[in-house]
DNA sequence: CTGAAAGCGCTTACAG
DNA sequence: CTGAAAGCGCTTACAG
């Protein structure tokens, strides 16, 4: 394996000069630079980034920790992250926690051992412990999609309260009075905020909160299915699903019960499903700018790596209501 | 930052003994082991994996290079990879090439600098150059989904010829005679093999090959849309889409032209769309065992890292035909 | 603009 | 079962 010393020898310079050329650090005479570059090329020199990182305390590595890599929302976020990172010369570890705190803690521990420069974290729980562990070791952190308690940390997320409010107001405007909420885990800020938007819209329409219509579960197809089944006896005329996978499960449960949308029950959803999956978009949704979210979060993280003293910022991105034919006025009683 | 020396000092042993305890390498007296473990815990010692990797020439890192992280097929493969890798103590870099050879070469170069132990590669082109570059530096390689020319390398993939044959035979059995092929890039083995299965099924039914019904493009929604538009003038009664995204584009083009499936045109597709996206599965598809594919490929890679002299193997996984209501007999002329 | 020396934090290769 | 010495391939911190 050829090393920086071999290159230096062939170019007739000291190793440190080769290092300066390769990293564009410090001044090198153009003539010298060229000799070094030629020597490196001739020897097919492959820099050992491990040695570089070990010595310089910089790995040029980020990690993206998400809760479900199977969800197109996160896949799209991942593309935004990947594009910005690779453009800046960073590689990205992807970690999938399945909304599991233990898995998350294990990943964070592994990332600390690997000395990643920064982490983009979609937290599986609202505890700030893992974020704190990272910050204590000087790892940059940006929290995605959800908020975390007890630590000062950059956050980039969509506007859950407003998105939920818009969706549910659309239903109340259509005349619905029995609107159910199918939310994610009760402990997550996104669930709470989407529930808050739901409640605000009901109040604005002068409707009472009915606890039998409000369900918390998980952001999965299975949970959406289970919540919808439990709900059917309470005869809602419309449902608000707090994410796309919950909606998918709920729709399956409706179909199994012989119910159609919007004739029997109107459906609105937080999070769109991208193009390839739905050739005919049906669901009324609030679309989050997922790619932009990944991009903005990564840019913020890189910024923070350059300037660690930057004041913490909570960036809330606007969401967009897309009305489609899954909603209609309720059937007359 | 506490180091292995600090731990050694506190435990009253030499650094190498700490190393042996932490890596479970070599014999250590249980008593000594315990003292070391306690010291490490008390000091909140975080091993520096960079130093470890640098010295031992082992990074415990893999990379998964795919062509489109947005496609649920690859997402599911990724889960299989991630699960096996993390269980074995490996972290995974995810790289997305967008079927772009240049991007792929850049990623491979970066992975070489990072000294990953192994790479799972879904090649963007049939050239074996990048595989060869990895092998030359003693990086383990398993090729996914597609074959590559001119190098001996492990391969794990679905049975494209048979899957295509089954789908198209299903159409010929229904009585279709004008069956179109919407394939991916002409240069990829998957495209060629799916075209070969298509041709074999037509021959088996005594049908001629009609070049005006055979189109090659890309594995994208846009390409499927464009190919379908070009095709409409030729009045096929059925189409075989070589992947799910091509099908999605084709269906949109059909809808824009006022055509329905299966009344106007029957549709069969290589690759399923997973649960959440289609509450009512409609398309007749061949489903690949994507999770198993990722799992099997990663297991094979880890095996090869342990035994580099293993003979090369081409593992072809069976696929499964799922008949659904996107297919019917052609309308009488 | 360039270089000699030291050292990052581990593991390898011996030795006992 | 345990340890002293050397070294992995770079960059840091000086020096000139």
Domain co-membership, B132 together with B231: no
**Which of the two residues, B272 and A157, has the higher pLDDT score?**
A157
pLDDT, tens digit (0-9, with 9 covering 90-100), for B238-269: 999 999 999 999 999 999 999 999 999 999 99
Instruction: Give the chain A residue whose CA is nearest to the CA of B48.
Output: A113
Does residue B333 carry a pLDDT above 70? no
Return the CATH number at B21: 1.10.260.40
Among the listed residues A258, A266, A243, A256, the one whose alpha carbon sits nearest the alpha carbon of residue A323: A266
**Which chain C positions come under 7 Å from a protein C-beta?**
1-5, 7-13
The encoded tokens of residue A300 equal 């913020």
- Alpha helices by DSSP H, listed for chain A, are 4-11, 15-23, 30-42, 49-56, 72-87, 101-114, 129-136, 160-173, 189-204, 221-232, 244-256, 290-306
Among the listed residues A270, A281, A74, A93, the one whose alpha carbon sits nearest the alpha carbon of residue A170: A270
B141 in a domain, yes or no? yes
Among the listed residues A242, A251, A248, A113, the one whose alpha carbon sits nearest the alpha carbon of residue A189: A242
The encoded tokens of residue A145 equal 């999609």
pLDDT, tens digit (0-9, with 9 covering 90-100), for A59-111: 999 999 999 988 999 999 999 999 999 999 999 999 999 999 999 999 999 99
Among the listed residues A38, A34, A286, A60, the one whose alpha carbon sits nearest the alpha carbon of residue A163: A286
For residues A71 and A61, is the Cβ–Cβ distance under 8 A? Answer: no
d(CA B55, CA A294): 35
Closest residue (CA to C1') to nucleotide D7 in the complex: B55
For residues A218 and A68, is the Cβ–Cβ distance under 8 A? Answer: no
pLDDT mean across residues, chain B: 94
Among the listed residues B286, B75, B324, B21, the one whose alpha carbon sits nearest the alpha carbon of residue A75: B75
pLDDT mean across residues, chain A: 94
Domain co-membership, A176 together with A277: yes
**Which of the two residues, A224 and A333, has the higher pLDDT score?**
A224
Residue recorded with tokens 């699903």:
A241
Q: How far is the CA of B79 from the C1' of C11 (A)?
A: 33
Angle between helices B290-306 and B72-87 (to 10 degrees): 40
For residues B318 and B159, is the Cβ–Cβ distance under 8 A? Answer: yes
A322 in a domain, yes or no? no
Which chain A residues in 241-270 sit with Cβ < 7 A of strand D?
Answer: none
Domain co-membership, B19 together with B78: no
Angle between helices A49-56 and B101-114 (to 10 degrees): 60
**B residues 69-98 near A, CB within 8 Å?**
69-72, 75-76, 78-79, 82, 86, 91-96
Does residue A274 carry a pLDDT above 80? no
Which chain A residues in 39-98 sit with Cβ < 7 A of strand C?
Answer: 54-55
Domain co-membership, A284 together with A164: yes
Non-local CB neighbours of A306 within 8 Å, separated by 6+ positions: none
Q: How far is the CA of B50 from the C1' of C6 (A)?
A: 20
From chain B, the residues in CB contact with A114 under 8 A are 49-50, 91
Q: How far is the CA of B49 from the C1' of D3 (A)?
A: 23
Does residue A160 carry a pLDDT above 80? yes
Does residue B60 carry a pLDDT above 80? yes
Largest CA distance in chain B: 91
Does residue A279 carry a pLDDT above 90? no
Residue recorded with tokens 């005329």:
A237
CB contact under 8 Å between A91 and B82, yes or no, is no
pLDDT, tens digit (0-9, with 9 covering 90-100), for B73-127: 999 999 999 999 999 999 999 999 999 999 999 999 999 999 999 999 999 999 9
d(CA A205, CA A203): 5
Q: Is any atom of nucleic acid chain D found less than 7 Å from the CB of residue B2?
A: no
Does residue A278 carry a pLDDT above 80? no
d(CA A136, CA A119): 13
The CA distance from B141 to the nearest CA of chain A, in Å, is: 18
Among the listed residues B194, B159, B126, the one whose alpha carbon sits nearest the alpha carbon of residue B315: B159
Alpha carbon distances (Å) from A251 to A229, A245, B14, B279: 10, 10, 63, 7
pLDDT-derived band at A281, boundaries 50, 70, 90: confident
B324 in a domain, yes or no? no
The pairing of beta strand B91-96 with beta strand A320-322 = unpaired
A113 touches chain B (CB under 8 A): yes
B224 in a domain, yes or no? yes
Among the listed residues B331, B324, B312, B308, the one whose alpha carbon sits nearest the alpha carbon of residue B140: B308
Nearest Cβ partner for A49 among B76, B114, B273: B114
d(CA B70, CA B272): 14
For residues A201 and A321, is the Cβ–Cβ distance under 8 A? Answer: no
What is the average pLDDT across B287-313?
Answer: 96
A326 in a domain, yes or no? no
Domain co-membership, A129 together with A147: yes
**Which of the two residues, A24 and B45, has the higher pLDDT score?**
B45
Domain that holds residue A98: 60-158+289-317
Domain co-membership, B134 together with B96: yes
The count of domains in chain A is 3
Return the CATH number at A271: 3.40.50.2300
**A residues 245-304 near B, CB within 8 Å?**
245, 248-249, 251-252, 255, 273-280
Tell whether the torsion through CA atoms of B85, B86, B90 and B94 is positive or negative.
positive
Nearest Cβ partner for A93 among B70, B93, B279: B93
pLDDT-derived band at A332, boundaries 50, 70, 90: confident
Domain co-membership, A203 together with A263: yes
Q: How far is the CA of B122 from the C1' of D7 (A)?
A: 38
Domain co-membership, B272 together with B164: yes
d(CA A120, CA B129): 34
B328 in a domain, yes or no? no
pLDDT, tens digit (0-9, with 9 covering 90-100), for A164-211: 999 999 999 999 999 999 999 999 999 999 999 999 999 999 999 999
Closest residue (CA to C1') to nucleotide C2 in the complex: A17
Alpha carbon distances (Å) from A219 to A168, A184, A227, A272: 19, 5, 11, 14
d(CA A193, CA A162): 9
Give me the pLDDT at residue A87, please. Answer: 94
Nucleotide nearest to A20 (CA to C1'): D11
Q: How far is the CA of A14 from the C1' of C3 (A)?
A: 6
pLDDT-derived band at B330, boundaries 50, 70, 90: very high
B331 in a domain, yes or no? no
Domain co-membership, B215 together with B280: yes
CB contact under 8 Å between A277 and B277, yes or no, is yes
B132 touches chain A (CB under 8 A): no
Domain co-membership, A232 together with A266: yes
A16 in a domain, yes or no? yes
Q: How far is the CA of A273 from the C1' of D8 (A)?
A: 50
Which chain B residues in 40-79 sit with Cβ < 7 A of strand D?
Answer: 54-55
For residues B181 and B212, is the Cβ–Cβ distance under 8 A? Answer: no
For residues B319 and B268, is the Cβ–Cβ distance under 8 A? Answer: no
Domain co-membership, B278 together with B304: no
The encoded tokens of residue A61 equal 């590595």
B49 touches chain A (CB under 8 A): yes
Pick the residue of B53, B85, B114, B221 with the most A CBs within 10 A to test the interface with A by mutation.
B114
Give me the pLDDT at residue B331, please. Answer: 86
What is the average pLDDT across B271-280?
Answer: 72
E strand spans, chain B: 61-66, 91-96, 118-121, 140-144, 154-158, 179-183, 214-216, 238-241, 266-270, 284-287, 314-317, 320-322
Does residue B198 carry a pLDDT above 80? yes
**A residues 314-333 near B, CB within 8 Å?**
none
Give me the pLDDT at residue B276, please. Answer: 62
Which chain A residues in 10-69 sit with Cβ < 7 A of strand D?
Answer: 15-16, 19, 22-23, 25, 47-48, 51-52, 54-56
What is the average pLDDT across A220-240?
Answer: 96
Among the listed residues A207, A242, A208, A246, the one whose alpha carbon sits nearest the alpha carbon of residue A227: A246
The CA distance from A76 to the nearest CA of chain B, in Å, is: 7
The encoded tokens of residue B202 equal 């037509």
Domain co-membership, B212 together with B135: no
pLDDT, tens digit (0-9, with 9 covering 90-100), for B159-168: 999 999 999 9
Residue recorded with tokens 């250590």:
B28
Give me the pLDDT at residue B275, please. Answer: 62
d(CA A94, CA B255): 37
Give me the pLDDT at residue B278, please. Answer: 67
Q: How far is the CA of B211 from the C1' of C3 (A)?
A: 68
**Which chain D positions come under 7 Å from a protein C-beta?**
1-5, 7-13
From chain B, the residues in CB contact with A276 under 8 A are 70-71, 221, 244-245, 248-249, 273
């Amino acid at each position: 394996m050829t090393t920086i010393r071999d290159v230096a020898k062939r170019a007739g310079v000291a190793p440190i000069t080769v290092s300066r050329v390769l990293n564009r650090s410090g001044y090198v005479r153009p003539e010298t630079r060229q000799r070094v570059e030629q020597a490196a090329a001739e020897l097919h020199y492959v820099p050992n980034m491990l040695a570089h990182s070990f010595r310089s305390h910089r790995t040029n590595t980020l990690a993206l920790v998400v809760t479900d890599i199977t969800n197109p929302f996160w896949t799209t976020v991942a593309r935004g992250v990947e594009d910005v990172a690779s453009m800046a010369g960073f590689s990205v570890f992807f970690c999938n926690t399945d909304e599991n705190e233990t898995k998350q803690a294990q990943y964070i521990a592994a990332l600390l051992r690997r000395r990643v420069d920064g982490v983009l974290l979609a937290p599986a729980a609202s505890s700030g412990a893992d974020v704190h562990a990272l910050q204590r070791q000087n790892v940059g952190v940006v929290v995605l999609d959800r908020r975390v308690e007890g630590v000062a940390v950059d956050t980039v997320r969509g506007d859950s309260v407003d998105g939920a409010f818009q969706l549910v107001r659309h239903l109340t405007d259509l005349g619905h009075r029995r609107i159910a909420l199918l939310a994610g885990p009760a402990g997550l800020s996104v669930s709470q905020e989407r529930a808050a938007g739901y409640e605000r819209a009901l109040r604005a329409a002068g409707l009472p909160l009915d606890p039998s219509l409000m369900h918390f579960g998980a952001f999965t197809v299975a949970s959406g299915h289970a919540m919808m089944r439990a709900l059917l006896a309470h005869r809602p005329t419309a449902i608000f699903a707090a994410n796309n996978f919950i909606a998918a499960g709920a729709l399956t449960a409706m179909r199994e019960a012989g119910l159609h949308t919007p004739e029997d029950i109107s459906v609105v959803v937080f999070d769109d499903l991208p193009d390839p999956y739905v050739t005919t978009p049906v669901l009324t949704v609030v679309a989050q700018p997922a790619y932009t979210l990944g991009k903005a979060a990564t840019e913020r993280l890189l910024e923070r790596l350059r300037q660690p003293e930057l004041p913490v910022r909570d960036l809330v991105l606007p969401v967009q209501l897309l009305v489609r034919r899954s909603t209609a006025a309720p059937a007359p009683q």
